[in-house]
Amino acid sequence: MIRVRKITITIREFPYDKKGLNINDELLWLSDVLCLFDSKRDKEKSKFRLFIELIKARKQKEVLTSDELAERAHLSRGTIIHHIHDLEDRGYVISKDNKYLLSEKNIEFIFRDIKRDFDDFYDEIKKVVKKLDQELEL
């Protein structure tokens, strides 16, 4: 079986020097780094709002349906389903019996998984690139 995971990361410096950063600012920065929303297309930051609701649910040890997530995030069920599929493709969310939850118990573990997957893929790319350089005599 071929495993596919969509990993998109934007390298953006954390604004350490800004005074008055709160947890919401930090979550917005994290969401921006993880490309959880496209500021041009997603003016309402609906995927970010969904992600926040999933974090809250994880904290409360809840597993929620798409209808429950839609109600909590004040979004349509269709919007939730659209974003849930993307978050599942990225490995941030899993489904159980038509209910959704973060794939790991906390954000740090999600990042551990991203790093592991990226490192594994990097090693694979490195092998292919080395072989290509040899074949192309570069």
Of the chain, the percentage scoring pLDDT greater than 90 comes to 55
Going from N- to C-terminal start, the domains of the chain cover 23-106
Res 38 pLDDT > 70: no
Q: pTM (2 decimals)?
A: 0.79
Q: Specify whether the CB–CB gap between 103 and 110 falls below 8 A.
A: yes
Strands, E, within the chain: which ranges? 93-96, 99-102
CATH number given to 23-106: 1.10.10.10
Query: How far apart are alpha carbons 22 and 94 in whole angstroms?
Result: 28
d(CA 1, CA 84): 23
Contact 94, 87 (CB under 8 A): no
**In the prediction, which pLDDT does 24 show?**
84
Residue 7 — very low, low, confident or very high, per pLDDT cuts 50/70/90? confident
